[in-house]
Chain A
Amino acid sequence: MPAKIAFEHVEKRFALRDGEHVALGGLTFDVAAGEFFVIVGPSGCGKTTLLRIAAGLEEPTAGRVTIARGDGDRPENAMVFQGESIFPWMTVRDNAAYGLKMRGASKRHIDDVVGHYLDRTGLQAFADAYPHQLSGGMKQRVSIARAFACDPEVLLMDEPFSALDEQNRTLLQEELLRIWDETKKTVVFITHSVDEAVTLGDRIMIMSSDRGRPKAFVDVPFPRPRSVLDLRATPEYGRLFHDIWAELRDEIRFPTAPAAS
């Protein structure tokens, strides 16, 4: 499959008072078109920085990220942010329509597409509610609907479920897989949860806490469509979970101090 996203020698350094912090130490890898690519790593390993660079919200110190454009006038990427990122001053509908509105889509097109994704996320009944009336899981559904609605080339998801409780997280993972199966968008999904990585991904990149380098790539062989619960009951799931944990454990036990110079 052709590369949809190419990360080439992506580097990010921050100047500190007493030296320099290397957040990303030159990453090179490709994400294939239609791939659900998961990056898993300990907190502080630079995975969020990497995603923000891919989203164009931050500039790399060196290297570049290129996203291949398909036909049609789509936005290059849309991000599902960590935590509460939907606007509290807009209704659910206006939040979900935000990307389309900013791109100047026609009212009819917005109504159609937003209506569809509010349906798919079970938010139709809350379309005119304000975010403070919603639970954490509902708010994240709005954020997902907002990202899918603007039909981007790639979807970037930054630990979208990390603030949710276990039950809600499982539900949202299922819903995300269902919506994703319909669109087969290229996804880069960041998480610190091995469970989540194995459940959702086609391929997993394990990131090292040592200056933000990839430590290993793992293929996830499970067929799609996947059922989250059935999948977790299989021995293969357990084995993969175990292997990835074994890789990650060292990273968490022996974190590297920021380089001082």
Chain B
Amino acid sequence: MNADARDRLLGVASPVALFAIWEIAARMHAIDTHFFPAPSSIAGTFGTMIGDGTLLSNTLTTLGRLGLGILAGGVPALLIGLAMGLYRPVYALVDPLISATYPIPKSAILPLILLVFGLGEASKIAMVAIGMFFPVVINTAAGVRQINPMYFDVGRNFGARGWAVFRTIAFPGALPVIMTGIKLGVGLGLILIAIAEMVGAQSGLGFLIWNAWQILQVNVMYVGLITIAVIGFVLTVLLNEIERLLIPARTRR
């Protein structure tokens, strides 16, 4: 067996072993099954929740909010970041605002967001948007500023003006750094949507987890946690794949 195959096998072996030990410990009542129900019983709850549609509907609700929030935060962040990277006055104007607001823990803004946007959908989307906005705007501006100035001279010399400079130089030149910002932002968005749904929602995976705690349905809580973990994993794989398609090998970082 070569080293790669062995590593893959070991990578699968550790979670399998963990679940096996967990299952055995739960059945022998070596651990408190109120807090740590056996994996098999969680799997049963999984099946029930898939069957009655509650898992799917809550997952779709969360994904919808996440998607809208990513767009609502990401698109302005990209445009503002490009403008900041290209035009020094814009950078000088906007950077202090970003530097001042960036360190505020995003979860601490939730009460304010609830106040402004109410308990409906808008507040959930806004939380994701805030999480997405900062890493994307900061990375986009930094990404444009690190582009070799010669490329902008080339653009000017060959007649690129205005939007063409964005499209052919600033954006593709900054794309590797922008992608890093997008990955960070999506990760942060997932954290924030879970928090937002716990406090002010009647649907979604965050609500599912919080509600399960309140009525002590520990199995349901685990189902919610595992589903969020899977969403995070799938999004990471998806973004890595998009990155691979968009960026020629050498310019990737």
Contact = CB atoms under 8 A, between A and B. Distances in A.
Contacts, number: 61
Which secondary structure dominates chain A's binding surface?
Answer: loop
B175 to A, nearest CB: 7
Interface stretch (A83-91, A159-167, A213-221): A83-91
Contact of A78 (B150, B153, B158, B169): B158
Contacts of A78: 157-158
Contact of A87 (B151, B156, B164): B151
A103 B164 CA distance: 11
Interface residues of A, number: 24
Interface stretch (B10-18, B38-46, B229-237, B245-253): B245-253
Contact of A132 (B153, B159, B168, B248): B248
A102 B160 CA distance: 6
Contact of B154 (A56, A85, A133): A85
Contacts of B154: 79, 81, 85, 87, 98
Residue of B151, B156, B158 with highest tally of chain A CB at under 10 A = B158
A133 B157 CA distance: 25
Which secondary structure dominates chain B's binding surface?
Answer: helix
A103 B150 CA distance: 20
B181 interface: no
B157 A132 contact: no
B173 interface: yes
B156 A57 contact: yes
A41 interface: no
Contacts of B251: 88-89, 132
Given A85-B153, A89-B247, A98-B168, 16 more contacts: A56-B156, A57-B157, A75-B159, A85-B150, A87-B168, A87-B169, A87-B173, A88-B248, A88-B250, A89-B248, A99-B158, A102-B159, A102-B160, A130-B249, A132-B249, A150-B158
